[in-house]
Chain A
Amino acid sequence: MSKVGIIGVGQSGFIRGYPGSIRELAFEGFKEAMEDAQISVADIDASIICSAPEYDKQRSPSGVFAEYLGLIPQPTFYLESLCSSTSMGLRMAYSLVKSGLHDVVAVLGFQKMSEISSAESQERMGRGADIQWESPFGTMMPAYYAMFAQAHMEKYGTTLEDLALVRVKSATYGQVNDKALFRKPVAAEMFTDPEHFMSGPVSSPLRVGDCCANADGSSCLIVASEAKAKAFSKKPVWILGLGAASASVNMSGRDQFTGLAVAQQASEQAYKMAGVTPKDIDVAEVHDCFTISEILAYEDLGFAESGEGKDLIRSKETYKEGRIPVNVDGGLLSKGHPIGATGGSQIRTIVLELRGKAGEMQVKDPEIGLVHNIGGVGLYGVVTILGR
């Protein structure tokens, strides 16, 4: 069985108000990935452009980007699965390469959220839910995840303090990630200080500090066949396992509010394909769009039993030195969450970790890494397992 590898990774800084157009933003992540892979545009056989639509005036950005990045006349197309778009793009690139149709595929994710106001953005994010039956009630992402937090806290005794601890860990690593939007330290006390912005109520029980921030950013992954990967790269990182699942968009179709079925299903598929178990994972990136999301991820991925996610953060087992380091790049909570670029950034971090090139974020000698990337409120779940 031939393998499929990742030979180049890159991302722009994730910032508020990128001072340029979306094609220029896309260039930033692309340039870094191309320099990383040390290849030229002629080596790329196809490109997949990933984002969540509705933030841009530009329709069909793939053609525009392909021209701007010098990737014409090769085929290009757009792929969308909300916040999990780039991970889904990697899945698609894998199948294009594995089938033999293409040898080298660029997966480029981007989002320029600052084009619109925060309230408008919440409205658009809310419309990633069921617009016929739910959006008319005034829904938004923090409120949906707040319902999961409420149910998890009630059933398992997870506390507001546990949620704050997730943010404290995130900030520990956000400070050493030069691509992160939020670089300041966070203390748990900020969440109980009514004067501090972190404690501000958003949607009970979630507070400002429990939520990730909108950002502008781009990310890029260069995916290659085994032969090309070995020819181009001394240290390719291999795609060992892929999993993906979908769920009812309407909350009335969900059978659990204490976990995300899509993450459970996608990880089961990815573990099986890779032939590994949760115990074999040395470093992980999980979709911490909210603090509660990280605790759900610990359990959905099998790093902890159901209801015991809180124990992992209390005992600091998900810190860099712990049993299973999670989000040692600061995660979405510190990096910011430019929807379409997020999955690529998560994958970039794991690739750097496996190469031993993650700098201050480096965990000790990891061999197998996992990326958990969720679209919508557990509408789409994509899990990717990578190895050296």
Chain B
Amino acid sequence: MSETKKKEIDDRFKKFGTVSYTSVTKVNDFITYLEEGKVMGTRCSDCGLMFFPPRAQCYKCLSSNMEWFEVAGTGKLITYSKLKYAPIGFDNDLPYYIAVLDYGDYKVFGRIAGDLPEEELELGMAMKTMANTLPNGQLNYLFEKA
């Protein structure tokens, strides 16, 4: 009887966010970049289309040739909300913000850093996207004042 070979499962994505609902994806390198302090999107090497969140596959030219790019510089705060009530599993994070930044070629959905008072937020203000480690060891990214 041959020994059953244990298959290594690349489930890095289970580290994304307070609670991750996905573990296996073709863009698992996103997590490794986050660990290195970088927030990355993908660009189709064939047609140049930029994706955030990153994708492994391009719907426009059906290519899987992707290269990573860093979400660098600043984006404009388009909108946000501060949650005072959370879905199950997120109670310990309260209160927290969700928001959208516009980088021109792409937009980024995420959280604003929790220590920023709501009075200091203004739609249109410049913010940057920073990799972040959560208290429970999980990884995400936060928007901070530029």
Contacts and interface: CB of A to CB of B under 8 A. Distances in A.
B83 interface: yes
B84 A135 contact: no
Nearest to A122: B87
Interface in B62-106: 78-90, 93, 96, 98-100, 106
Contacts of B98: 137-139, 143-144, 147
Contacts of B123: 150-151, 154
A254 B81 contact: no
B86 A201 contact: no
Given A139-B87, A203-B83, A252-B107, A147 B25 contact: no
B107 A135 contact: no
A146 B100 CA distance: 12
Given A143-B98, A151-B123, A252 B78 contact: no
A138 B53 contact: no
A137 B85 contact: no
Given A136-B16, A136-B18, A122 B88 contact: yes
A126 interface: yes
A204 B84 contact: yes
B140 interface: yes
Contact of B78 (A120, A206, A257): A257
Given A133-B109, A204-B84, A252 B52 contact: yes
A143 B123 CA distance: 16
A130 B20 CA distance: 11
Contacts of B22: 131-132
Given A146-B81, A150-B81, A252-B52, A135 B17 contact: yes
A228 interface: no
A131 B79 contact: no
Contact of B88 (A123, A131, A133, A149): A123
B17 A137 contact: yes
B116 interface: no
Contacts of A254: 100, 107
Q: Which of B79, B111, B123 has the most CB atoms of chain A within a 10 A radius of its CB? A: B79
Interface string A110-143: 0000000101101101110011111111111011
B85 A138 contact: no
B127 interface: no
Contact of B53 (A140, A148, A252): A252
Contact of A147 (B17, B87, B100): B100
B19 interface: yes
A304 interface: no
A201 B84 contact: yes
Given A143-B83, A150-B79, A132 B88 contact: no
Task: List the 3 closest pairs (A to B, CB-CB), nearest first.
Answer: A136-B17, A138-B90, A146-B81
Interface of A: 117, 119-120, 122-123, 125-127, 130-140, 142-144, 146-151, 154, 201-206, 250-254, 257
